[in-house]
Structure 1
Amino acid sequence: MKIEDRTFIISGGASGLGQATAQELVRAGGYVAVLDMNDDNGAAVVSELGADKARFFQCNVTETESVAAAIKGTVAWVQETGKPLGGVIPAAGVSLPSTMLDRHNQPLSLPDFNFVMAVNVTGTIDLVRQALPHLAAAAGSPEDGERGVVVMVASAAAFEGQRGQVSYSASKGAITAMTLPMTRDLSRFGIRVVTLAPSLFESAMTSLMSDKVRKSLEVPRRAGRPEEFAMAARQAIENVMLNGTVIRLDGGMRMPSKL
């Protein structure tokens, strides 16, 4: 899909991997609707990218009304600019590490588990499903009839989750598992689905790790950089042959069983 003069919805777009993706798509001539909870960060991203190329929408992906409002605002903006929707990138995510039983013999917190699932799984599917009717209504590409792309974000933890990552691994495993059936559902509408599964990348989440932990995971060389994730997201959008697949973006890293 051609990025230039198309609009892309990015949740978690005001920080980390989502922000880097917004920057990359604007460099490629695209427009971005940045969805995030942090107003200050959102305003800063729009200031950097330019108000003509980016629009911020305050959004809590765990609240379907908030997602609906952000989608409605994006559609109104698209009507103003005349730059049709090209895709949706649900990049908002959280992690609350906890073992199934802690040292005091207390079980995993169910509210914490539900929160991670609400953001990472329900928040992903809700944003995608609410954007889809607008993607499906877009004019198809004259070359192949393509109307849009969904780029979801999983994690290496979906394949080799570590100790204390039951909730996070479950949420990212769900993203990988829904990739193919979603592709099959949407193929007749000219909408592709690609999932990226990064390992250790520089982000707000990984910044909380100690230097010792980070060093133990930097195999073979170092953590990934946000711009490298963004490059992969751009390729997922532009390369029509990427569809129905989960791409590991890990530099050969394989997570150990515990930190």
Structure 2
Amino acid sequence: MQIENCVAAVTGGASGLGEATVRNLVTAGAKTAILDMDEEHGQSLASELGDAVRFFKTDVSEEKSVQQAMDGVTTSFGALHIIVNCAGVAPPMKVIGKKGPLLISKFERVIQINLIGTMNVVRLGAEKMLKNPPADDGERGVVINTASVAAFEGQIGQAAYAASKAAVVGMTLPVAREFADYGIRVMTIAPGLFETPMLAGLPDPAKAALSRMMPFPKRLGRPREYAMLVRQIIENPMLNGETIRLDAAVRLAAK
């Protein structure tokens, strides 16, 4: 798929990995929609990047909100070819904490945003892609979801987060197999430790300790490096039904 003149929707596009992806796609010539709850940053980014970008305040966990966003994207730009799911939360929580067992409502919230939110966007976005005329190889669209290395090596306090991201990995192949009949590819990226708002609040010594965990390069990943992989996935038609670890060979310890 050639990115130029395509239409992309990026959830969590107002910051972090999503913002870097939006910037990369716009540079490559795509019309891009930012789907995010952060209206201030989302509108600001859209204004900065110009007429090729629209912002839609979107709660990915709510079906109506996602449907309205998808309708808005196709109304504004006429089609939808690319979905990149970056929206997510990662609150630390032990199953048995100092105040007793984990509140199941907190566990449910993580699953609702990270897993059900991803599926909401995939299913409602793919429905729009079905209307695209087939391009080379019959391709109509590309879906890229975001998991985490925690899907494979979840740490203490990451039971909810790891479960949600492992489920995103788990649904990659079956959805790719189903969507093959429609000409829509489905991929997942599992980032390691990246310089995102999730880690921004950590003190410098903690960031330095995390960097030392990285085999090579010995630093946190940069959001633009995630965006580079997104672009490669879009442009390489043989990438389908797979999860790619983007992690500098890090393997998370228990804590």
Superposed, 1:45-60 pairs within 5 Å as 45-50=45-50, 52-60=51-59
TM-score (norm 1): 0.94
- In the alignment, structure 1 segments of 5+ residues that lack a partner are none
Same amino acid, percent of matched pairs = 45
Superposed, 1:139-158 pairs within 5 Å as 139-141=133-135, 143-158=136-151
Kindly state the Cα deviation for residue 103 of structure 1 after the two structures are TM-superposed.
2.9
Distance, in Å, in 2 between the alignment partners of 1:227 and 1:44 is 19
**Which amino acid is the alignment partner of residue 229 of structure 1?**
Y
Superposed, 1:27-176 pairs within 5 Å as 27-50=27-50, 52-79=51-78, 84-104=79-99, 106-141=100-135, 143-176=136-169
Kindly state the Cα deviation for residue 75 of structure 1 after the two structures are TM-superposed.
1.1
**Which amino acid is the alignment partner of residue 22 of structure 1?**
V
Superposed, 1:6-45 pairs within 5 Å as 6-45=6-45
2:206 is aligned with 1:244: no
3-state SS in 2 of match to 1:55: strand
Cα-to-partner distance string for 1:16-62 (whole Å, 9 max, x where unaligned): 10010000001111110111111111111112211x21000011112
Report how many residues are paired.
251
Distance, in Å, in 1 between the alignment partners of 2:198 and 2:232 is 24
Cα-to-partner distance string for 1:77-115 (whole Å, 9 max, x where unaligned): 123xxxx321111110001111111134x0112111111
Preserved contact between residue 31 and residue 77 of structure 2 (Cα < 8 Å) = no
Preserved contact between residue 60 and residue 66 of structure 2 (Cα < 8 Å) = yes
Preserved contact between residue 33 and residue 55 of structure 1 (Cα < 8 Å) = yes
Preserved contact between residue 14 and residue 34 of structure 2 (Cα < 8 Å) = yes
Kindly state the Cα deviation for residue 254 of structure 1 after the two structures are TM-superposed.
1.2
Distance, in Å, in 2 between the alignment partners of 1:203 and 1:245 is 24
RMSD: 1.0
Preserved contact between residue 217 and residue 255 of structure 1 (Cα < 8 Å) = no
Find runs of 4+ consecutive structure 1 residues off by over 3 angstroms: none
**Which amino acid is the alignment partner of residue 88 of structure 1?**
I
3-state SS in 2 of match to 1:97: coil
TM-score (norm 2): 0.96
